[in-house]
Amino acid sequence: MAKKQSEKIIVPWLAFPDGELHLNALEEKILFIAMDTEYQSNYTANVNLCLSYQYAAYSLCDGTYKSGIFYPDINKQERYTIGEFTHKVLDAMGLPIKMLKDWTIIYISHFFTAEWAMFKDRKELYMKFDYIRKTMITGRYPLRTTILDKDGSKIELSSYFRDTMLLLPDGYKSLEKASTFIDGYEKVDIGENKAQMYQFMVDNPELFEKYAIRDAEVTLRLFIKLQYMLNKINGSKGKLFSTLASATTNDFKQFSKKKFGDSIHDMQYDRLHTLYKRYESIADRSYLGGLNSSYHIGVSEGYTFIDIDFKNAYPTAMNLLKVGDFGTKIEKTNKSDKKTNIFKGVDDD
């Protein structure tokens, strides 16, 4: 996989009635693949045994939908590569690889880091991803992917990776809570069986499959619902949002354009906006969060030290600020006074 820096995708989210998955053909060369895995932790051997790969896939081109499960060879501790997994999904859907030339695949999972750990080629590909809040996605641009057909011919397509957890607000980031947004697709309750998934798979294979496949199904439907809602709120139609924060930022930018775009200071605003955009990426890469440090040097007895960190303190304070008055032009005053450098004896001239 290699990155391509000149391509963006437009998905017709508003074509989904109320953000619900339908099986209508939209003739768009886009394939959604929601993926999930089940595994059993072996703490003695310090390894996770992959039990199954499950998927829910939907083709926007012809309306084909399919969900299912694949079982690797547990005795051989088998794991799939992303390519092998994709091949299996395409075969299950009856989609010939040759037909996928210039298509886009959007892979979706809920907390992708956990699923990524089950793939054989994770170490070779992890540098291709961006890391946000302990999970992995592709950024603004897709990965260019080459898939080999059975006759050895190469088919190129684009791949995006998205995580539904990054699109959810605090309090609803677990798939169990988020699934309540999708009627009829709530997460299957298996109680204490989560601690012994291998034994659960052996003892009750039907319920195991229902539980496993449901996670992939709800992830796909949840993703479509969230993208639909965020585009609806933002007044956009086909944006592929990666995080809830990016949707909020986009909404603020649209508000700014509507608020100040027709003002008498268009020239000044555009100049500042251009300046802002030039250094926006630097700010995005540089900001790593706030640091709250409390120090006491020496030995203390009989004291209790408490450090309180308020959740969302910065965003809360920022939201309390009123919108400034940008409609009044400030007159500049020209001063002919000679300026002096802060270092004594060194003159600006």
Q: Residues 6 or more apart from 62 whose CB is under 8 A from it?
A: 25
Spatial distance between the Cα atoms of 51 and 204, rounded to a whole number of angstroms: 14
- Residue 256: the pLDDT is 63
In a domain, 280, yes or no: yes
In a domain, 346, yes or no: no
For residue 179 the two structure tokens come to 């699934």
**DSSP line for 68-137:** EEE---TTTT----HHHHHHHHHHHHT--GGGGTT-EEEEEESSHHHHHTT-TTHHHHGGGSEEETTEEE
Residue 66's DSSP bridge partners are 57
Same domain, 220 and 277: no
Spatial distance between the Cα atoms of 32 and 103, rounded to a whole number of angstroms: 11
In a domain, 182, yes or no: yes
Same domain, 198 and 264: no
In a domain, 304, yes or no: no
Same domain, 158 and 265: no
pLDDT tens per residue across span 204-246? 999 999 999 999 999 999 999 999 999 998 888 899 999 888 8
- Residue 264: the pLDDT is 41
For residue 249 the two structure tokens come to 């930022």
- Residue 97: the pLDDT is 86
| DSSP character at residue 170 | T
How many alpha carbons lie under 13 Å from residue 285 in its C-beta half-sphere?
7
Same domain, 64 and 211: yes
Counted domains in the chain? 2
| DSSP character at residue 33 | E
Same domain, 260 and 151: no
Residue where a domain terminates, one of 234, 262, 294? 234
Closest CA to 167 of 124, 197, 192, 135: 135
**280: domain range?**
245-286
Same domain, 185 and 113: yes
Same domain, 251 and 183: no
Same domain, 76 and 168: yes
In a domain, 323, yes or no: no
CATH number at residue 11: 3.30.420
In a domain, 103, yes or no: yes
Spatial distance between the Cα atoms of 22 and 337, rounded to a whole number of angstroms: 71
Q: Which residues of the chain have pLDDT under 70?
A: 1-7, 43-46, 251-296, 315, 318-349
What's the chain's length in residues? 349
Q: Please, where are the H alpha helices in the chain?
A: 82-93, 112-116, 122-125, 175-178, 197-203, 205-234, 244-260, 266-286, 313-320
Same domain, 88 and 198: yes
Same domain, 227 and 251: no
- Residue 60: the pLDDT is 93
